[in-house]
Amino acid sequence: MTIDRRRLLQAGGIAALSSALPELVQAQSSASPSASPPAAADQTIRIGTGLVELAPDRIISTTTYNGQFPGPLLRFKEGQQVVVDIHNDTDTPEQLHWHGQTVPVDVDGASEEGTPFIPAHGMRRIAFTPGPAGLRFYHTHLTPGADLSSGQYGGQVGTVYIEPKQEPGRYDREVFLMLKEFQPALSRGGDMAMNFLAPATRVKTLEQAGEAAMRASLAKGMPHGFEVGYSLFSINGRMLGHGEPVRVKTGERVLFHIVNGSATEIRSLALPGHRFEVIALDGNPVPTSTQVPVLWLGTAERISAVVEMNRPGVWVMGDLADDDRTRGMGIVIEYAGQTGKPKWTRPAPFKWDYTRFGKPGAERQAPDETIEMTFTKNNAANHGFNEWRINDVAFSMDRMAPMFHLRQGKRYRLRMSNASDDIHPVHLHRHSFELTRIAGKATAGIIKDVVMLGGYQQVEVGFVADNPGLTLFHCHQQLHMDFGFMALFGYV
Ligand SMILES: [Cu+2]
């Protein structure tokens, strides 16, 4: 989705979206224009079945927001309350989660925390104050388990951009990109890239424990647990070569807002001959904006990065994985006056290190309490699916007592230890956290709501308990989350 910055400023936020959102704008203008209090919501979202044309011969039927994929781009203003009507035209109760926002429990969109469901063929009206500013997103928050036609395997994902009170605006244009796969299928064993994280430091004891558990399971004759793979890949709902190219001019600074809307996959992105100046991670400005040749995004991570267009041509911006890119995970970048077949060249190997965007040499604030969390995999233990445990407990909706207790206003450190070889993009609801240590390396100043924890590695994050109510913590890899990798924080 491309929005011309100048046009947006001239037309004003909502009006500029009218081409993308004809139904919504129509609905608003037909509802009592000057009545007060206003009867119409600021935004209306309809959950229902729709067709997504990934390519002319690849049209899929899935659950969408407002009949489109991705869902409409919602632009909010930091601190300015919005009313949102969410209609559910499906036969299944739904949850709409405002990922990355510090909202109350009844709005957040997670039944585990107590958010009411949007009833089947019913609706909910919610009101909340958007924040913090920056790139957020919204998505369904069901636990589909083995049902790959449900939840975030479908098309219920959309971008939120919360305009800050002051926008530095060192760019000419912004382009929103939603990365998403379709047509999932179960497989035994995956082919996910695993060795791109830096530092690569592993914790020996975690590795020994994880490897021993895996060996014992296989020795008992267990197969490897199920993974999910996909056959169709898209950016902004179009397979590579089948959408409008991003049209640019030489010398332009284009700000890409990228959302990994995948249910399960980690994605990479490169644009041959160009560099990404990363200015924000998960929507929050980074202390050290740095140029990198490749971006990596765990499930639900977001990156905002400026690319200076200084290499005229027609290029493929796409995933490093050849299989995924050739099946759609890419978008064409076309310079004015340039023609020809889009070119792709593989970038030199590059490691993704969060700490390069951090504050060098910064003091870390001491926590009031450190919470230890260890993540373990019980191979193929739940009907062939891997069961995941936090401190030896697999989450169950039958037993929803909070595992961790917080005191309002206190500062916490989460020390997370991964006793499995999988990468876990772990997510904390309704709070942002600061990265304080990545695989043994101290850092500060990077504020996120998802962080990738590498195989047999340790990551530490800090946060302040400043948003009372049940708070969900989980791995954002859908299979991990659905099969145990969740826990609740309770406030006392
Ligand atoms: Cu996980």
* CA of residue 416 to ligand 1 center, whole Å: 12
Per-residue pLDDT reduced to its tens digit, 425-474: 999 999 999 999 999 999 999 999 999 999 999 999 999 999 999 999 99
Q: Which residues contact 179 (CB under 8 A, 6 or more apart)?
A: 234, 235, 258, 259, 260, 261, 262, 267, 269, 297, 319, 329
The pLDDT assigned to 12 comes to 34
CB 245 within 8 A of CB 406: no
DSSP 397-433: TT----SEEE-TT-EEEEEEEE-SSS-EEEEETT--E
Q: Are 296 and 196 in contact (CB under 8 A)?
A: yes
Angle at 140 between CA 138 and CA 145, to 5 degrees: 145
Using alpha carbons, list the distances in angstroms from residue 234 to 254, 332, 340: 20, 12, 22
480 CA from centroid of ligand 1 (Å) = 5
The half-sphere exposure of 202 on its side-chain side, counting CA atoms within 13 A, is 18
Element of type H or E holding 27: helix 22-30
Tell me the C-alpha distance between 315 and 248, whole Å.
Answer: 11
Q: Round to whole Å and give the CA distance between 54 and 69.
A: 9
Are 79 and 167 contacting, i.e. CB atoms less than 8 angstroms apart? Answer: no
Q: What is the pLDDT of residue 399?
A: 72
What is the 206 CA–ligand 1 centroid distance (Å)? 16
Q: Which of 292, 298, 279 is nearest to 134 (CA)?
A: 279
Residue numbers in the chain where pLDDT is lower than 50: 1-35
CA of 20 to the centre of ligand 1 (A): 34
Q: What's the confidence (pLDDT) of residue 27?
A: 34
Distance between CA atoms of 139 and 135, rounded to whole angstroms? 14
How far, in Å, from the CA of 475 to the mean position of ligand 1? 4
Cβ-Cβ contacts under 8 Å for 381 (sequence gap 6 or more): 217, 225, 387
Distance 388 CA to ligand 1 centre (A): 8
Give distance in angstroms: CA of 169 to centre of ligand 1.
35
Distance 422 CA to ligand 1 centre (A): 7
Q: What is the pLDDT of residue 397?
A: 77
d(CA 189, CA 228): 8
Instruction: Report pLDDT for 18.
Output: 35
Q: How far is the CA of 484 from the centre of ligand 1 (A)?
A: 10
Q: How confident is the model at residue 4, as a pLDDT?
A: 39
